[in-house]
Structure 1
Amino acid sequence: MTLLLEAPASSPPWMPTRYSLPLAEDFTTHGDWLLRLVDVVWRLPDGSALELDEWQRWLIRAMLETYPAGHKRAGELRYRQVLVSVSRQNGKSVLGAILGLYGLVREAGALVIGIASSAEQARIIYARLLSVIRGNKSLAARFARLTDTRGIQSLDGGRYEIKPSKSAAVQGLDLTVGLVDELHITKPELWSDMVNGSAARRSGVVIGLTTAGDDSSELLLQLYKNAEDPGARFGFFIWEAPEARIPEDDETLGAYLCAASPGLACGRLDLETAISDVRGLPEPDAIRYRLNRFTASSNAFITLDLWSKQRRPSGQAFPSGRPIFTFDRTPDWGFAAITATVKAGPDTHSELVASITNPNLEQLVAVAVELNRFSPVVFAMDGYALKDLGLELKKRGLPVWIANQGDVINASALLYAKLSTGKLWHAGDPLLTLQVPRTVRKNIGEQFRISRGDSSIEIDGVLSTAIGVLAAETRSDDTLQVF
């Protein structure tokens, strides 16, 4: 099989950057009858027909290519494994649901298994397909059971089930179609077990739909390597930008985005909006999710230039309003930082209140009691570092919010977003000026968080600022007073 490194100049603009060439120009495929079925039965919630992009129709046909007449495997699917890698917002869940329908109606006794990083993620594809089946009387009549969580079962014994993202969950299963969403956070052994499970079927196939990963994405890195020298039954369709960088000029950035996003290249998505969105994203996220290129699992969080740009102008006072006081400490209790945060209209303001050397719990409680004279909206803290402080303050009747890991993930993203859009102002405190450019973010699945362990310096001030910004965004204050 020949590897096509770049689509020919005469190809449509939405063609993949790298993909498996068909066996013949007029190849046979199960995609033809599947697309006819989709055109008949697939309806959107408003009752209108689903209009697939040209690239989506091409991809479905290419993925489901069959061996031609005269071949020893005539009529069988060419690929037993398929990798589809494309940037976000290109309808991967719709493609997954269509492929789920294909698996269910292809043969009697079919077994379709859906896998993702979480049951909620896997249920997105499942729910789309379930809605389509329920919405078409003729199609629904072919099924004995249609449940929201416990599987879809056809009258001929076929079924679609969601399984947890664990190898043991799929071992021994005789798969017709395996659907894996977001391969970059899927374990290699899970993929192998699904491929092995599909071997008993004449045309069993495992299909992975994903965006690019990072240097910890072991399975996806291996599948990309397989694409460099693919075997006869491995299909790959990869859309990616020419380089893993954000061009400074919009024209080049637009070309990079179109290379990674067939939805943009075919004109369905708005390029101007996409360019604007990318300019407001953290660079690692823009490269990974919009240019569909691999990044490091750990990256610098905020540049000093971005932080310095949002320093409150000289002479501008901290705004009035009931503050949020946020506490954080270093793991060794060497230092503690306390910040004040106030939301004033669309803008959020933050500044360092205190940095304490060698604090203890009693001292932090005493500081909080003293700060309570400013009638704060809440005292906030990271539950991993200062849960005991929160509990002590609650005993004293003070308003407390203890952030969990999910909150810290949200706080990390919000802090960056506020800075990049010019909606966070700070006092230019020397401690934060030192800590911010040395703070590292760590990928956590599809998200990221500020990482103490990966940063080259203590970051108590940065974490205190981030949690305070999230608290200010999520807690209202209708009573104003001077602070």
Structure 2
Amino acid sequence: MTLVEAEAPEATYDLAGIAPWPPTRYTRPLTPDFHSWYERYRDTFRKAWWSANGYCLERWQDQLLHAITEVDAFGILRYREVLISVGRQNGKTEIVAALGLLFMVAKRSPTVISVASSREQAQLVYKRALDVATRSATLAPHFARMTNTRGLTTITGGEWELKAAKSAALQGIPIDLGGVDEVHLVKSVLWTDMVNGLGDRDDCMVVGITTAGDDDSELLLRLYERDDAPVTRFGRFVWEAPEARVPKDDNELARWLAMANPGIASGRRKVANAVSAVRGMPQDQAIRYRLNRFVSGSDNAYIAVPDWNRLTVPADAIEIVRPILTIDRTPDWTFATIIATGKTDDDKIAVEVAMSIPNPSVEALYDECVDMFGKVSPETFVVDGYTLGALAKRLKENGYPVRTMSFGDEVSAASMFYSKVVRGHIVHAAPGLAQQFQNVARKATHGDQYKLVRGSGPQSIEAALATVRGVYAAETSDDGGSLIY
């Protein structure tokens, strides 16, 4: 019997010539064959990471730790300040945790301080280090106390502490290693206070790790532009795409993603998944967090007017059989809108404004739903469970199909709708909605996820939100059947 290898269902991309190390831009070592603190403990850390996690640090992470802790001809740490910038989901937590543990075991009684934009974020780094220290037979003997709440202490008096991202919390503390997570969110004065905490002592360092920022990232902009000549004792290691834009060609995008994300270049992360994720993200978010390039202006833009308008078709070209009817209202109840959505024969989603209702009430909206149910036999009604929960309740009680959008639905709908707009998978006869979309902003929820909120402009957005929910409902409904409700 001959075995035939099945072809991979996902797209393949040419990443030839792109390696996870070195970064796109980095400070060159003093000599090609330099030595470092990390090389003395490399085998110890490999065993420790394997014992604790069942995996080792990636080779590029190994090389980065080696580069950061380069020593000069006298055996003294070359750098006093280091900036690391890399796209999201590349193991930043692992790097900072390993660096903190390295200082804890390499120095007699160091003070290691972790700072982030929130204590919860700093806790992630500390917990990773704690897990490795407690589960490793090679590292555990170095520590006298290892707790989740009272810190990490070595048998020789070294301490690892978490601090709030406030200048007052750091003043007067002698620091051997200061670790700053997400530098783009940190104030300049905090970095300065940490550097002052190093004093004039050798073998002390402040290290910041981050993704790219925007116009408001004052500290990060300064560090990006800083001179990294040897005399400055400052090092910079930046993985980034060649330009601050999202390429139209998928293979070019894949290559740029690999340049900004060593986890992709190494093969640990699937590049096909990364390309797909970017195609469903607003461009400024993709540029900043996935291509690791700075963006200008607001980071909350959602749908561009030209992107929406190019999907417009004549009203008589829209024909939706058994539509999904999505209802939303303004916060002050001055207007409500009913949006009709449904799939077309070519698997796009058609959108039209079914009705605009001034000064609505729950009673009036219910009557309109009953009337439209008799006329067009919709597959289901869709409402926001928070703003129109009373309407959903009444429709259900009277036997009408209705789906209420959960928080998870709202988050999924936001990214799905954006993806369909930029890919041209929507047709509509509602160019007037472009005005509302100008005032739709994104509010981050977790990682790259976001929900939609009203911006600072005067336009209401109830019709835009109903459109987003309606497209999501049409895409996630069963073929020819009703939604789960």
Matched residue, 1:60: 65
Query: 2:415 maps to what in 1?
Result: 413
Shift of 1:244: 1.0
Q: Report the CA distance shift for 1:368/1:188 in structure 2 as closer, same or farther (over 3 A).
A: farther
TM normalised by structure 1 equals 0.75
Q: Partner of 1:3 in structure 2?
A: none
How far did residue 319 of structure 1 move? 4.0
Structure 2 segments unaligned to the other structure (5+ residues): 1-16
- Mapped pair 1:210 → 2:210: yes
Please show how residues 10-159 of structure 1 align to structure 2 within 5 Å.
14-43=21-50, 47=54, 49-53=55-59, 55-69=60-74, 75-159=75-159
Q: CA separation in 2, counterparts of 1:98 and 1:432?
A: 51
Corresponding residue to 2:320 among 317, 322, 332: 317
- Aligned counterpart, 2:283: 283
Superposed CA offset, 1:198-219 (max 9, x none): 3365322111111111122222
RMSD (Å), alpha carbons: 4.3
Q: Is the 8 A contact 1:179 1:206 kept in 2?
A: yes
Query: How far apart are the structure 1 equivalents of 2:25 and 2:283?
Result: 24
Q: Secondary structure at the match of 1:83?
A: strand
Q: Which residue of 2 aligns with 1:460?
A: 462
How many residues are aligned here? 449
Map 1:289-438 onto structure 2 (within 5 A): 289-298=289-298, 300-303=301-304, 304-305=306-307, 309=311, 314=317, 316-317=319-320, 319=322, 325-329=326-330, 335-339=335-339, 352-357=353-358, 359=359, 363-370=360-367, 373=370, 379-380=383-384, 412-417=414-419, 419=421, 428-436=429-437, 438=438
Quote the Cα distance in structure 2 between the aligned partners of 1:18 and 1:316: 53
Q: Which runs of 5+ in 1 are unaligned?
A: 1-9, 70-74
Once residues 316 and 179 of structure 2 are traced to their aligned partners in structure 1, the CA distance between those partners, rounded to angstroms, is 53
Q: What amino acid does structure 2 have at the position aligned with 1:36?
A: D
Mean CA deviation greater in 275-284 or 80-89: 275-284
8 Å Cα contact 2:327-2:381 kept in structure 1: no
Write the letter of the residue equivalent to 1:68. A
Paired residues of 1:173 and 1:197 also in contact (CA < 8 A): yes
1:452, 1:66 → 2: CA distance? 52
Q: What is the CA-CA distance between 1:98 and the residue it aligns to?
A: 0.8
Q: CA deviation at 1:124?
A: 2.6
Aligned partners of 2:184 and 2:217 also within 8 Å: yes
| 1:227-253 deviation per Cα after TM superposition (whole angstroms, max 9, x unaligned) | 477861211111212211222334433
Mapped to 2, the partners of 1:171 and 1:341 lie a distance apart of 58
User: Given the superposition, is the C-alpha separation of residues 334 and 132 from structure 1 closer, same or farther in structure 2, using an over 3 Å criterion?
Assistant: same
Instruction: Confirm or deny: 8 A CA contact 2:246 2:287 kept in the other structure.
Output: yes
Q: What secondary structure, in the 3-state scheme, does the structure 1 residue paired with 2:139 have? A: helix
- Return the letter of the residue paired with 2:384: A
Q: Does 1:160 align with 2:160?
A: yes
8 Å CA contact 1:213–1:288 kept in 2: the answer is: yes
Letter in 2 for 1:152: L
Tell me, yes or no, if the aligned pair for 1:263 and 1:269 is still in contact at 8 Å.
yes
1:378 deviates by 6.8
What percent of counterpart residues are identical? 39
Task: Give CA deviations for 1:268-324 in whole Å, capped at 9, x if unaligned.
Answer: 44444444443333222221122211112426422444675498994643546xx67
Alignment-derived partner of residue 226 in structure 2: 226
User: Offset at 1:395?
Assistant: 11
Output the amino acid matched with 1:79. Answer: Y
SS of 2:223's partner is helix
**Structure 2 CA distance for aligned equivalents of residues 228 and 200 of structure 1:** 19
- 2:214 maps to amino acid: D
Residue number in structure 2 paired with 1:6: none
Partner of 1:7: none
Q: Distance in 1 between matches of 2:175 and 2:283?
A: 39
Counterparts of 1:199 and 1:407, CA distance in 2: 51
Alpha-carbon offset, residue 403 of structure 1: 8.0
Paired residue type of 2:97? A
Distance 1:243 1:127, change over 3 A: same
